[in-house]
Chain A
Amino acid sequence: MSKTTDNLPPRPAADDLGPPVSTGAPNGSAASARSASKVYGMGDTEVHALRDVDVSFEAGRFTAIMGPSGSGKSTLMQCMAGLDRLSSGEAFIGPQALSALGDKALTTLRRDKIGFIFQAYNLIPTLTTRENITLPLDLAGRKGESDWIDEVIETVGLSDRQTHRPTELSGGQQQRVAVARALASRPEIIFGDEPTGNLDSRTGAEILDFMRRAVDDLSQTIVMVTHDPVSAAYSDRVLFLADGRIVHELLDPTADLVFDTMRSLGD
Chain B
Amino acid sequence: MYRATLKSIRGHIGRTIATAAAVIIGISFLAGTLIFTDSVQRAFDNLFATVFETTDAQVRSSEVVDAGFGIQVRSRIDESLVDDVAAVDGVSGVDGFVQGTATVVGNDGEPIGNPGQGPPTFGFSWTEDDQLSQFNVIDGREPVGPGEVVLDENTATTGTLQVGEQVQILSSAGSERFELVGIARFGTSNSIGGASSALFELSEAQRVLGAEGTLDAIGVRADEGIDEADIAARIGEILPAGAEVITGSEATEEAQSAIADGLSFFNIFLTAFAVIAIFVSAFVIANTFSILIAQRTRELALFRALGAARGQILRSVILEAVVIGVVGSLLGVLFGAALSYALQALLRLAGLELPSEGLVLLPRTVIVSLVIGTIVTVGSALFPAIRAARITPIEALREASAETWKRNNIRLAIGLVVTALGGVSILFGLLAPEIALAGLGAGFMFIGVFVLGPTIAKPVARVLGAPIAAFRGTTGNLARDNSMRNPKRTARTASALTIGVALVAGVTVLAASLKSSIEGTVAENFAGDVVIDSGSFGPGGGFSPQLAADVEALDEVDVATSLRVGVGEVEGSGDFIIAVEPVAFEILDVGIVEGSPTDLVGETIMLLDNNAEDLGVGIGDSIAVQFTDGIDRDLTVVGIYEDASFAGNQLVGQDLYQSTAAEQLDFAAYVRLADGVDIEDGRAAIDSVTAAYPNAEVQDRQEFIDSQSAQLDNILNLIFGLLGLAIIIAAFGIANTLRLSTIERTREIGLLRAVGMTRSQVRSTVRWEAVITALFGAMLGVALGLFFGYAIVLALRDQGEISLTIPFRALTTVVILAAIVGLLASIIPSIRASRLNILAAISSGQ
- Given contacts A83-B839, A125-B748, A138-B474, whether A103 and B756 have CB atoms under 8 Å apart is no
Q: Chain B contacts of A139 at CB under 8 A? A: 474, 752, 755-758, 761
B751 at the interface (CB under 8 A from A): yes
| Among listed A23-31, A109-117, A155-163, A239-247, interface-contacting one | A109-117
For B758-775 the 0/1 string (1 means CB < 8 A from A) is 111100000000000000
A118 at the interface (CB under 8 A from B): yes
Q: Chain A contacts of B753 at CB under 8 A? A: 107
| Distance between Cα atoms of A127 and B761 in the complex (Å) | 16
* A110 pairs with B754, CB closer than 8 A: yes
Nearest neighbor of A109 in chain B, beta-carbon distance: B756
Which of A103, A112, A122, A123 contacts B759 (CB under 8 A)? Answer: A103
Q: List which A110-142 residues lie within 8 A (CB) of chain B.
A: 110-112, 116, 118, 121-127, 131, 135-136, 138-141
* B747 pairs with A121, CB closer than 8 A: yes
Nearest neighbor of A104 in chain B, beta-carbon distance: B758
| Among listed B151-159, B290-298, B476-484, B522-530, interface-contacting one | B476-484
| Distance between Cα atoms of A161 and B172 in the complex (Å) | 88
Q: List which B458-488 residues lie within 8 A (CB) of chain A.
A: 473-474, 477-478, 481-482, 484-485
- Given contacts A107-B757, A124-B752, whether A78 and B747 have CB atoms under 8 Å apart is no
Q: List which A74-127 residues lie within 8 A (CB) of chain B.
A: 78, 83-84, 103-104, 107-108, 110-112, 116, 118, 121-127
* B755 pairs with A111, CB closer than 8 A: yes
A181 at the interface (CB under 8 A from B): yes
Measured between C-beta atoms, what is the minimum distance from A258 to chain B in Å? 26
- Given contacts A103-B759, A121-B747, whether A116 and B485 have CB atoms under 8 Å apart is no
- Given contacts A124-B748, A131-B477, A139-B474, whether A83 and B838 have CB atoms under 8 Å apart is yes
Q: Chain A contacts of B478 at CB under 8 A? A: 124, 126-127
* A107 pairs with B477, CB closer than 8 A: no
Highest count of chain B CB atoms <10 Å: which of A116, A126, A141, A181: A126
Measured between C-beta atoms, what is the minimum distance from B243 to chain A in Å? 83
Measured between C-beta atoms, what is the minimum distance from B614 to chain A in Å? 64
Task: Give chain A's interface residue range (CB within 8 Å of chain B).
Answer: 20 to 34
Pull 25 A–B residue pairs with CB atoms less than 8 Å apart, ordered by A: A83-B754, A84-B838, A104-B758, A107-B757, A110-B754, A110-B755, A111-B755, A116-B755, A118-B754, A121-B747, A124-B478, A124-B748, A124-B752, A125-B485, A126-B484, A131-B477, A135-B474, A135-B755, A136-B755, A136-B756, A139-B474, A139-B755, A139-B757, A139-B758, A141-B473
* B754 pairs with A116, CB closer than 8 A: yes
Measured between C-beta atoms, what is the minimum distance from B837 to chain A in Å? 9
Q: Chain B contacts of A140 at CB under 8 A? A: 756
| Distance between Cα atoms of A160 and B609 in the complex (Å) | 77
* A138 pairs with B473, CB closer than 8 A: yes
Q: Chain B contacts of A112 at CB under 8 A? A: 756
Nearest neighbor of B757 in chain A, beta-carbon distance: A139
* B751 pairs with A121, CB closer than 8 A: yes
Q: Chain B contacts of A121 at CB under 8 A? A: 747-748, 751, 842, 846
Q: A116-B754, A118-B842 are in contact. List 6 more A-B contacts (CB 8 A).
A: A107-B753, A108-B758, A118-B754, A122-B751, A125-B748, A127-B481
Nearest neighbor of B838 in chain A, beta-carbon distance: A83
Task: Give chain B's interface residue range (CB within 8 Å of chain A).
Answer: 20 to 34
Nearest neighbor of A112 in chain B, beta-carbon distance: B756
Measured between C-beta atoms, what is the minimum distance from A81 to chain B in Å? 8
* A126 pairs with B481, CB closer than 8 A: yes
| Distance between Cα atoms of A83 and B841 in the complex (Å) | 11
Measured between C-beta atoms, what is the minimum distance from A122 to chain B in Å? 7
| Distance between Cα atoms of A126 and B458 in the complex (Å) | 13
Measured between C-beta atoms, what is the minimum distance from A126 to chain B in Å? 3
| Distance between Cα atoms of A107 and B473 in the complex (Å) | 18
| Distance between Cα atoms of A5 and B79 in the complex (Å) | 115
Q: Chain A contacts of B839 at CB under 8 A? A: 78, 83-84
Which of A84, A125, A131, A181 contacts B755 (CB under 8 A)? Answer: A181
Q: Chain A contacts of B474 at CB under 8 A? A: 135, 138-139
Nearest neighbor of B753 in chain A, beta-carbon distance: A107
* B838 pairs with A118, CB closer than 8 A: no
| Distance between Cα atoms of A83 and B477 in the complex (Å) | 25
Measured between C-beta atoms, what is the minimum distance from A212 to chain B in Å? 22
| Distance between Cα atoms of A139 and B761 in the complex (Å) | 8
Q: Chain B contacts of A78 at CB under 8 A? A: 839
Which of B482, B756, B761 contacts A110 (CB under 8 A)? Answer: B756
- Given contacts A138-B473, A138-B474, A139-B474, whether A126 and B482 have CB atoms under 8 Å apart is yes
| Distance between Cα atoms of A83 and B756 in the complex (Å) | 10
Q: Chain B contacts of A108 at CB under 8 A? A: 756, 758
Q: Chain A contacts of B761 at CB under 8 A? A: 139
Q: Chain A contacts of B838 at CB under 8 A? A: 83-84
* B485 pairs with A107, CB closer than 8 A: no
| Distance between Cα atoms of A51 and B755 in the complex (Å) | 27
Measured between C-beta atoms, what is the minimum distance from B210 to chain A in Å? 77
Q: Chain A contacts of B759 at CB under 8 A? A: 103-104, 107
Q: Chain A contacts of B482 at CB under 8 A? A: 126
| Distance between Cα atoms of A110 and B751 in the complex (Å) | 12
| Distance between Cα atoms of A108 and B758 in the complex (Å) | 7
Nearest neighbor of B482 in chain A, beta-carbon distance: A126
Highest count of chain A CB atoms <10 Å: which of B478, B753, B754, B761: B754
Q: Chain A contacts of B748 at CB under 8 A? A: 121, 124-125
| Distance between Cα atoms of A83 and B752 in the complex (Å) | 12
| Distance between Cα atoms of A78 and B840 in the complex (Å) | 12
List 4 A-B pairs, minimum CB-CB distance, nearest first: A111-B756, A126-B481, A138-B474, A107-B758
Highest count of chain B CB atoms <10 Å: which of A83, A125, A127, A141: A83
| Distance between Cα atoms of A23 and B482 in the complex (Å) | 43
Nearest neighbor of B756 in chain A, beta-carbon distance: A111
Q: Chain B contacts of A138 at CB under 8 A? A: 473-474, 477
Q: Chain B contacts of A125 at CB under 8 A? A: 485, 748
Q: Chain A contacts of B757 at CB under 8 A? A: 107, 111, 139
For B713-757 the 0/1 string (1 means CB < 8 A from A) is 000000000000000000000000000000000011001111111
Q: List which A163-184 residues lie within 8 A (CB) of chain B.
A: 181
Q: Chain A contacts of B754 at CB under 8 A? A: 83, 110, 116, 118
Measured between C-beta atoms, what is the minimum distance from A199 to chain B in Å? 17
| Distance between Cα atoms of A139 and B754 in the complex (Å) | 12
| Distance between Cα atoms of A112 and B757 in the complex (Å) | 11
| Distance between Cα atoms of A135 and B477 in the complex (Å) | 11
* B751 pairs with A118, CB closer than 8 A: yes
| Distance between Cα atoms of A138 and B485 in the complex (Å) | 21
| Distance between Cα atoms of A148 and B740 in the complex (Å) | 38
| Distance between Cα atoms of A232 and B842 in the complex (Å) | 24
Q: Chain B contacts of A181 at CB under 8 A? A: 755
Nearest neighbor of B760 in chain A, beta-carbon distance: A104
Nearest neighbor of A131 in chain B, beta-carbon distance: B477
| Distance between Cα atoms of A141 and B473 in the complex (Å) | 8
Q: Chain B contacts of A136 at CB under 8 A? A: 755-756
Q: Chain A contacts of B755 at CB under 8 A? A: 110-111, 116, 135-136, 139, 181
Q: Chain B contacts of A107 at CB under 8 A? A: 753, 756-759
For B35-70 the 0/1 string (1 means CB < 8 A from A) is 000000000000000000000000000000000000
Measured between C-beta atoms, what is the minimum distance from B844 to chain A in Å? 10
* B485 pairs with A126, CB closer than 8 A: yes
Q: Chain A contacts of B842 at CB under 8 A? A: 83, 118, 121
Q: Chain A contacts of B485 at CB under 8 A? A: 125-126
| Distance between Cα atoms of A116 and B838 in the complex (Å) | 13
Q: List which B195-210 residues lie within 8 A (CB) of chain A.
A: none
Q: Chain B contacts of A122 at CB under 8 A? A: 751
For A178-206 the 0/1 string (1 means CB < 8 A from B) is 00010000000000000000000000000
Measured between C-beta atoms, what is the minimum distance from A106 to chain B in Å? 10
Nearest neighbor of A134 in chain B, beta-carbon distance: B474
